Chains A and B, each alone.
Chain A
Amino acid sequence: MMILSMTLPPKDAFFETIIYLINTYASFFIRGIYITLLLSVVGTLGGFILSLFLTILRTSEIDQRRDQGWVRVLKHTGRIFSHVYITVFRGTPMIVQAMIFYYGISPLRLSWWTPLIAGLTVVTLNTTAYIAEVLRSGINGIDKGQMEAARSLGFSRSEAMFLIILPQAIKNSLPAIGNEFIVNLKDTAVLSVIGVFDLFRATQSSTSSNFRIVEGFFIAALIYLFLTFITGKLVNGLEKMSSKEKVNQHV
């Protein structure tokens, strides 16, 4: 097989070209898949963790009677920060964020500030904003009696949040967070603009010398489709699991 496809097939031989590209540039595609998965996994997990902090900031409530002046200022600042953060990151394209971050920090000449690190940073910060929105609606879906019961036992607001509310909200939000992962699989393609060697960039590299662009990106499309299809199945499984439990709650 390897030997058969060593020379570039003629232009109208679509499938032969595909086999040729796969054989010749297998290492590129594998590297591209690895980087795309890395961006999506790190972006979704990192975004999830950071979104927890953002959620704590934006769900804090100022206690008019008990909070000292500086606590109020801190809580107020936190709320404004989270609001601005979410508005900015959801309101601008990730490709624009990538350009600003990568070329904004590059002049500092930090040896570790590579396109990949910049890409991981941008996808994480971007996903944080989206998952924070998911978590907010998850928290809104939790009956307020849960918070009241926790407060009546003597838990503070933040203890109740961490011990009672968030675990339930996260569980209910898992399918939506899984969807963010699927979105990341596809949308991290834009990070190739700053030179991240993801699946998109790998495909570009594979076709840059032979100009078989359609065939190359046909392969990329199949790979993207495979990845999103598999994760989609997993997310559906999660959804079924959680809806099954909800049915049980009403029996």
Chain B
Amino acid sequence: MSKHILEIRNVHKHFGSQLVLNGVDLDVSEKEVVTIIGSSGSGKTTLLRCINLLNEPDDGHIYFMGSDLMDPKTDLEKLRMHIGMVFQSFNLFNNKTALQNCILGPMKLLKQSKEEATENAMRYLTKVGMQNFAHQQVTRLSGGQKQRVAIARALAMNPTIMLFDEPTSALDPEMVGEVLSVMKDLAKEGMTMVIVTHEMGFAEEVSDRIVFMDQGVIAEMGTPQEILKNPKEERTKAFLKRYRSNTLI
């Protein structure tokens, strides 16, 4: 059995009076690609944001490489350096160029020299096909370009795991492909990834495991074949039926 990088245990989360996560358990192994699907409001984004404690669970444990992130004594900042995150709305640092976005963390947090950080950053910008835009202000890039820079920024920290929060949901349709293809390459190279997405075709292609969430719990979990082709749970079937009727029109 391969080693678990991430173990989520019995995580609960409220927003006000609303229960968003109602006891979620999930393990992620090294080099595994796990995709979380489900309708909006099912808690999938909240679960992803709980992994690096951008949302702090009310209860439960998040073990990352053996340390419990929920333990107040854990150095949260140190562990976050190993957890890359890509956001739906990119969240690039608006006052900086693409390259500056990618070297800030490595220089300030990993204490790399500017030369070293720049060399690394250029390698990752090349990997996402953005090397020619390194010195552009990020506010002038298109959505797809921004998201690729955001991926390079996360990669520049040399993370152990990457979290993707609906990375293509804010993109124009013609830009979805360029971002997904970067993510596919990452998956092929063996990056451990947890992805929240609505792109079922993509999920089917890259995932080792698909997690279907509904009403704050994991309703069903399995290989893409099991979840997308032969779902056992009624709510999974209903969700996929709804999804397909919406996309085939």
Contacts and interface: CB of A to CB of B under 8 A. Distances in A.
A251 B52 CA distance: 33
Given A159-B108, A167-B95, A145 B87 contact: yes
A149 to B, nearest CB: 4
Nearest to B80: A154
A154 B77 contact: yes
B54 interface: yes
A149 B56 contact: no
A152 B83 contact: yes
B139 A249 contact: yes
Contacts of B104: 153, 163
B85 A152 contact: yes
A167 B95 CA distance: 8
A167 B96 CA distance: 10
Interface string B51-70: 01010100000000000001
Given A155-B108, A249-B139, A148 B54 contact: yes
Interface string A129-172: 00000000000000101101111111110010001100110010
Interface residues on B, range: 20 to 34
Given A66-B72, A154-B109, A249-B139, A146 B91 contact: yes
Contact of A248 (B80, B93, B139): B139
Mostly helix, strand, loop or mixed at chain A's interface?
Answer: helix
Contacts of A167: 95
A199 B208 CA distance: 76
Contact of B81 (A143, A154, A248): A154
A233 interface: no
B56 to A, nearest CB: 7
B84 to A, nearest CB: 8
A148 B56 CA distance: 13
A154 B78 contact: yes
B105 interface: yes
B92 interface: yes
Contacts of B76: 66
A109 interface: no
A151 to B, nearest CB: 7
Contact of A65 (B56, B81, B90): B56
Interface in B134-152: 139-140, 150
User: In the complex, which range does the number of interface residues on chain A fall in?
Assistant: 20 to 34
B157 interface: yes
A150 B81 CA distance: 10
A102 B104 CA distance: 47
Nearest to B82: A154
Contact of B94 (A65, A66, A146, A156): A146
Given A154-B80, A154-B157, A163-B104, A145 B89 contact: yes
B77 A145 contact: no
A251 B140 contact: yes
Nearest to B56: A65
Contacts of B77: 154-156
B105 A155 contact: yes
Given A148-B87, A149-B87, A154 B54 contact: no
Nearest to B95: A168
Contacts of A149: 85, 87, 91-93, 150
Interface string B105-143: 100110000000000000000000000000000011000
22 contacts: A65-B70, A65-B72, A145-B87, A145-B90, A146-B94, A148-B87, A149-B87, A149-B150, A151-B80, A152-B52, A152-B54, A152-B85, A153-B105, A153-B157, A154-B109, A154-B157, A155-B108, A155-B109, A163-B108, A249-B94, A249-B140, A251-B140
Given A152-B154, A153-B80, 7 more contacts: A148-B87, A149-B150, A154-B78, A154-B80, A156-B77, A249-B139, A249-B140
Interface of B: 52, 54, 56, 70, 72, 76-78, 80-81, 83-85, 87, 89-95, 104-105, 108-109, 139-140, 150, 153-154, 157
- The 3 tightest CB contacts between A and B, nearest first, are A154-B81, A145-B91, A149-B91
Interface of A: 65-66, 143, 145-146, 148-156, 159, 163-164, 167-168, 171, 245, 248-249, 251
